[in-house]
Amino acid sequence: MKTELVNKYRPYPQVGLINRTWPDNTIEKAPAWCSVDLRDGNQALIQPMSLAKKLEMWQLLLEIGFKEIEVGFPSASQVEFEFTRMLIEEGLIPSDVSIQVLTQARDHLIKKTFESVTGANQVVVHLYNSTSTLQRDVVFEMSRKEIIDLAVHGAQLVLEEAQNYPEILFRYQYSPESFTGTELDFALEICEAVMDVWQPDPENPVIINLPATVELTTPNIFADQIEWFCTHMKNRQSAIISVHTHNDRGCAVAATELALMAGADRVEGTLFGNGERTGNVDLVTLALNMFTQGVDPKLDIHDINHLIDVYERVNRIPVHIRHPYAGELVYTAFSGSHQDAINKGMSYYEGADSREWAVPYL
């Protein structure tokens, strides 16, 4: 690369977490899962889903077993408002499933969001505003205090609006958008300011969602950020720490796995990694990575061909032939020595007493 091109960039800062513990941890149970296919995935499509296609995706997500599904940004799109209303009015939401609705910390959008969920049983209201240094300086031209005031005002309005819908069981989620571009101390400060408004407790925790809105660094640094955040919170037992990673550097799955090792409780993502730019974290790969380590992912993806069929039809995006677990060629070997080893491995497996999978190259 030319020097003048390389000099456009600077290294991402280290966290300086001296006594990190996450490298010694393993993933021993599934996180809480939240699909954002209908929102983050849909907004990334060249041709967004129709109501019929949204409904087909909704049914697939229920079949898989998702208990939290972000159904859209109803205050920003009439189609997403109508889809939310359709799910509620036609009784299409199972009693054990929460719909999640996204809203910016802006008064008219918050009020419209609550209108969209009238009559629902349980709803996660997902409030967000941008917190990164770049967004503060370039997009909003606001100080730290002004950004915090915006979030706090939004959190207060969310509580006020919720009082108008006593029949709904609300849970609250806050995201400091562009968390990975935000100073850690400021991300913690603004999240705790929102928590001070919502007053969660261990029985009624708030969801704090820490998004890698743009993936800026290596997975180990993201894990350091998550562990730092979890260990510095003043009310950790009253918060569910969620992560929402994007794949700009190709590391979304690894970053999410390390974040779970670092203390995260919940994961937002999409089927096969659809999403803005290079996509969101792929929940199918994540779940099957757990499965192949002997951990039940608590998602039913045994009929992966059915998932692929619906995904490709609804999103109009093909699953790549080399996509982990799902690609057409991932269980195909063209090398003669590989074919021989697989053949011998399958024969050995079929006659072995142990049912533990152990076949070369597979």
- Point out which residues pair with 115 in neighbouring strands: none
Q: How many CB atoms lie within 10 A of CB 113?
A: 26
Phi and psi angles of residue 215, each rounded to the nearest 5 degrees, phi first: -75, 115
Give the closest residue to 190 by CA, choosing from 209, 212, 213, 171.
209
SS3 at position 324: coil
Q: How many residues does the chain have?
A: 362
Instruction: Say which residues have a Cβ less than 8 Å from residue 13's Cβ, sequence separation at least 6.
Output: none
Burial class (CB in 10 A: 0-12, 13-18, 19+), 347: exposed
**Class of domain 19-315 as given by CATH:** alpha beta
CB–CB of 263/226 below 8 Å? yes
SS3 at position 330: coil
- DSSP letter assigned to residue 343: H
Cα separation of 217 and 212, whole Å?
10
pLDDT value at 40 more than 90? yes
What pLDDT score does 184 carry?
98
The DSSP code sequence of 225-283 is HHHHHHHH-TTGGGEEEEEEEB-TTS-HHHHHHHHHHTT--EEEEBGGG--STT-B-BH
Interval 174-185 mean pLDDT = 97
Using one digit for the tens of pLDDT, what is the confidence trace for 288-311? 999 999 999 999 999 999 999 999
Q: How many CB atoms lie within 10 A of CB 19?
A: 6
pLDDT value at 354 more than 80? no
SS3 at position 211: strand
Interval 241-268 mean pLDDT = 99
Cα separation of 256 and 268, whole Å?
10
Using one digit for the tens of pLDDT, what is the confidence trace for 108-153? 999 999 999 999 999 999 999 999 998 999 998 899 999 999 999 9
In the chain, domain spans: 19-315, 331-362
C-alpha distances out from residue 6 to 11, 14, 134, 215, 218, Å: 11, 20, 20, 18, 18
What pLDDT score does 107 carry?
97
Give the CB-side neighbour count of residue 289, counting CA atoms within 13 A: 17
